[in-house]
Amino acid sequence: MALKSSSEKQDKTALRAVHIPVGGVTLHGDLALPPGATGIVLFAHGSGSSRHSPRNRYVAEVLQHDGLATLLFDLLTTDEEAEDVLTRRLRFDIHLLTQRLIGATEWMHAQPEAAALRIGYFGASTGAAAALQAAAACPDAIRAVVSRGGRPDMAADVLPRVRAATLLIVGGDDTVVLEMNQRAYDLLTTQKRLSVVPLAGHLFQEPGTLEQVARLACAWFLRYLNLDARQ
């Protein structure tokens, strides 16, 4: 599957590599700022993935095309990623991932070019649990969350406290994760939606399914990160 996205607006997007100090470590990321952006989406990647995930980068390009800033960054350091390949432990440490995401959000607030932007989170797999926990911990700062094939059940204890408008996107053929998301959806008390992409598996590798994810996510963020949006 070829993942492509290009436009004149994207050509004008300011792109830069960033280094984010969080809790005694430095995380690496890529910040994209389209002209006139009013919102920014921080990506919390899933288990065993990184800021180089082609699926998340595709979604990020679609958001940039429609004027949303994005921050893709690694939740783990290079050494931690090497350890996790062997142990698979850190990818399920939701508390650690949540603290890294909150730290990156605080760092972003300190950047003059991004400080005024309204914030959303895009989480995949275990990253979705971290995004929801961070949103619950920062209810006044986070306006929207989108979960792609996520594990919101791993944040079940905090779901009733989430105030950010939350969109859960699941593949129709990803039956186990769909059941988890249905239970999590019932626990959410904020603006919410559960969108099922027909014939899609967990990774949305089927033709056209990732494009549907990107369109759904973009519409959600544009709605809730708009300057005039009210929750």
pTM: 0.91
pLDDT tens per residue across span 10-24: 568 899 999 999 989
Task: Mark the ranges of the chain whose per-residue pLDDT is less than 50.
Answer: 1-9, 229-231
pLDDT at residue 95, rounded to an integer: 94
pLDDT (0 to 100) of residue 150: 94
The pLDDT value recorded for residue 220 is 98
Written out in words, the top-level CATH class of the domain with range 8-224 is: alpha beta
Report the pLDDT value the prediction gives residue 53, as an integer from 0 to 100.
84
**% helix / strand / coil in the chain, to the nearest 5?**
40, 25, 35
Predicted pLDDT at 137: 97
d(CA 163, CA 170): 21
pLDDT at 47: 63
pLDDT at 194: 98
Q: Can you give the pLDDT at residue 226? A: 83
Q: How far apart are alpha carbons 152 and 120 in whole angstroms?
A: 16
Indicate the DSSP class of residue 157.
Answer: G
Residues 172, 32: Cα–Cα separation, whole Å? 31
Question: Could you tell me the CA-to-CA distances from 94 to 101, 125, 209 in Å, in that order?
Answer: 10, 11, 27
C-beta separation of 215 from 58 below 8 A = no
User: What pLDDT score was predicted for residue 25?
Assistant: 94
| Boundaries of every domain in the chain | 8-224
Nearest Cα neighbor of 146 from 168, 172, 118 is 168
**pLDDT tens digit sequence for 15-51:** 999 999 998 999 999 999 999 998 999 999 876 667 8
